[in-house]
Structure 1
């Protein structure tokens, strides 16, 4: 497709130095680890349920119905606390967990499990309240006051529950849209405090903590989650930041509102970073430095340098343009699985929109592929906002990349194409097959806004690409 009216550009290959090619092989180790971790998570829930059954929960529910409400209250509480611990593990930044599942998958599981845990917690509270107040002619207010305030450790459990309710409410989509990311993230941290306040009433007053082996299981579950947070969310990032000693060396404007921050450090190759991965960055440039933001590296990692390209879409990201050389940088990472190592086939096609081009710059520069085996579809609003455009054109000429530049505003009806291709007959799927006729026989990598990613995925599914060959990571919060 070279119709200048649609502004879809195919750049021919004019390479004089062919690159060595290594055919990708299907990676199975990470999939096996992911399956094992899933089995362990489900196993903890099964064991928790069995502890409830062994303690008489089944009999109390189905044989002695007068105890059914209290028994179900205990079960929902146990399962809720177990799921809360799994939430912590999902986003504890444990390296082999991140590498196996991918950050975006873990974030979705974290959110999904969080809602399950929340409703089980609400059921736990409501069922116990019903049990306490079902006595005829009883003092309802006194019973509830004792349950939520004066019973041992219950005031702390009540405060913890209220904190968790606030966290869940602010995590609903309509609420998130009304909060800045920094405010939402700060509120989200209160979930740790909420879980901590609810913990004592389970340990010191819980029916299922009386036997030694159940104490070992629950204490082991909670303490291992705490250790994971302390080690991988605090210890490892602090050690890496001290050891590698990253400093800002230059801030360069790519296009209006987008800058590339270049940094230097020491022994950066020892982190094993791959193009397409991201770090959580904290630039020590003044108040607000503690709020980390995830950005993908935008150039192949070097032993002494890293680059990240940042679009000004919020208060924190806008501050990147004001960074001064010498500013110290704290890092968490590297994270992410959207790397060339995930390829299962020699040929690949990359879809980028806006600042989503940043991971693909590095992937295209340091990955191994033959001429014609890589295609890049790049969507942007106009030439003024086309990040790395000239560099990508030159890279395409050198490496034999099929490059399709798609400027223009996004057309309606959930399309991932720009409005400049409205005169092309056919659907998104038809245009995609014209661009890349062998699309179903490639791996696809996608990076951009969440709605745009979903649109591209729908088209890929329609043209016959297997889901296992579609790779993306979504950082929308």
Structure 2
């Protein structure tokens, strides 16, 4: 097997940086509580439908179609509101799930809600047409033009179709993150436009004080979460901390670091491993937010982010002027020291994925020999922060393994080509023989991260000790 580590460096332990974030472990029951609440809400919706004669009204074919259409619409509306709550940046939900799990859950809930919406439309039109003995197009036109709130509901449906279409993987590849994010804001408008139809023509919304109380409570919770956690709290934080660009440093070809200074940054309770959504007020396009992780442990008066040139949004960082005002949302993400379960840690990074792991390596507590960093890159010139990493190795006793080279052709592996003759998990065990007793933090491209996670699981690392966040959208 090719050599996998450099000669050992002198390990001189120094105290870690002073923490500014919160390192309390997130209770595992938070995630379970969110899931239980979601399932209970769906159960309540079905119970309210049954209480409003949902089953009894299905004694004829038109009645069956109409009644099932009502149920599909109710479940679709409930899931749509749950989707809003999932992405409202509620701290307990954020810390319970983490960014990648939230995105996957949000996508699953969103597509399920949309499919139920389509079923609601089709079944209602079929049921009404069968009952009135009219054609489907004529009945659909009658519903849209004569029933209260239906024009607004139609507009809401069009907006939701646009959001769903741009969420399909093939469409996402053609869109910049900023454009995709802006289009998805129309989902909030779609939710709002659907409300009049649900109140004016949805008998299940007003069938009883219990039904009305439930639906108004869920709508109020969704609207309140967005107002508090997406508007009020970020606004308050920006007024308090007043972030500005302090320095711009070119780290490598196409890679730039931006240092930010502000007031009372300890009150942000940001931790290494987390990310923010940033807006730099430097001209056109400043309203478009872009997520970047902290690339250094947060200080009481300074933060640092690092990005690779992957498009106009990241390219403009190199042109920022000192003193440029910065608007931010966050901190977000749960890949922090708070999720650690063991004394030893292994951090595995690829490319620009080194940014949150470099910050974690600086902030975490560990003794000499208890931390390993495996850094994968195409070549020596692509290794970011090498002087900083080598300094951490010398001062804190971190063992660093640099794996450089092109990918193994025709194989879904996290290793460079010189390891083509070896199994992914065996190389991982060769580098870190006691890997099963480590917490393993992984950050890199989606496919590469999945390959590392598979190798770690095959090497005996329990699922609870594997931590990764894939910042896909």
Structure 2 CA distance for aligned equivalents of residues 28 and 340 of structure 1: 8
Segments of 5+ residues of structure 1 without an aligned counterpart are: 21-25
Indicate how the Cα distance of structure 1 residues 364 and 340 shifts in structure 2: closer, same or farther if over 3 A, else same: same
Q: Give the secondary structure class of the aligned counterpart of 2:27.
A: helix
Residue in 2 that maps onto 1:12: 8
Comparing 314-323 and 8-17, the one that deviates more? 8-17
1:381 to 363, 378, 381: 378
Matched, 1:169 2:180: no
Question: How far 1:86 moved relative to its partner?
Answer: 0.6
Correspondence 1:135-150 to 2 at 5 A: 135=131, 138-150=134-146
Structure 1 CA distance for aligned equivalents of residues 24 and 324 of structure 2: 39
Residue in 1 that maps onto 2:235: 238
CA contact (8 A) 1:11 1:402 kept: no
Comparing 127-136 and 109-118, the one that deviates more? 127-136
Comparing 148-157 and 279-288, the one that deviates more? 148-157
Question: How far 1:409 moved relative to its partner?
Answer: 1.7
Correspondence 1:365-404 to 2 at 5 A: 365-404=362-401
Question: How far 1:394 moved relative to its partner?
Answer: 2.2
Correspondence 1:108-119 to 2 at 5 A: 108-119=104-115
Task: State the Cα deviation string for residues 239-285 of structure 1 (Å, max 9, x = none).
Answer: 11111001101100111111110011000001111111111111111
Q: Give the secondary structure class of the aligned counterpart of 1:411.
A: coil
CA contact (8 A) 1:70 1:127 kept: yes
Matched, 1:364 2:358: no
Structure 1 CA distance for aligned equivalents of residues 384 and 13 of structure 2: 26
Residue in 2 that maps onto 1:151: 147
Residue in 2 that maps onto 1:23: none
CA contact (8 A) 2:436 2:461 kept: yes
1:293 to 290, 293, 305: 290
Task: State the Cα deviation string for residues 213-245 of structure 1 (Å, max 9, x = none).
Answer: 211110110121011111111111111111100
Indicate how the Cα distance of structure 1 residues 312 and 419 shifts in structure 2: closer, same or farther if over 3 A, else same: same
* Count of residue pairs the alignment pairs up: 466
1:229 to 218, 222, 226: 226
1:452 to 440, 448, 465: 448
Segments of 5+ residues of structure 2 without an aligned counterpart are: 17-22
Question: How far 1:64 moved relative to its partner?
Answer: 5.0
CA contact (8 A) 1:13 1:399 kept: no
1:421 to 419, 427, 430: 419
CA contact (8 A) 1:13 1:371 kept: no
1:274 to 271, 279, 283: 271
Structure 1 CA distance for aligned equivalents of residues 35 and 125 of structure 2: 34
CA contact (8 A) 2:11 2:398 kept: no
The alignment yields a C-alpha RMSD, in angstroms, of 1.8
Matched, 1:160 2:156: yes
TM-score by length of 2: 0.95
CA contact (8 A) 2:12 2:397 kept: no
TM-score by length of 1: 0.94
Indicate how the Cα distance of structure 1 residues 372 and 67 shifts in structure 2: closer, same or farther if over 3 A, else same: same
Matched, 1:102 2:94: no
Matched, 1:284 2:278: no
Residue in 2 that maps onto 1:91: 87
Correspondence 1:17-416 to 2 at 5 A: 17=13, 19=15, 29-61=26-58, 63-64=59-60, 66-135=62-131, 138-210=134-206, 211-412=208-409, 413-416=411-414
CA contact (8 A) 2:126 2:136 kept: no
Task: State the Cα deviation string for residues 303-359 of structure 1 (Å, max 9, x = none).
Answer: 111111111101111100000000001111111110112110111111100111011
Q: Give the secondary structure class of the aligned counterpart of 1:300.
A: coil
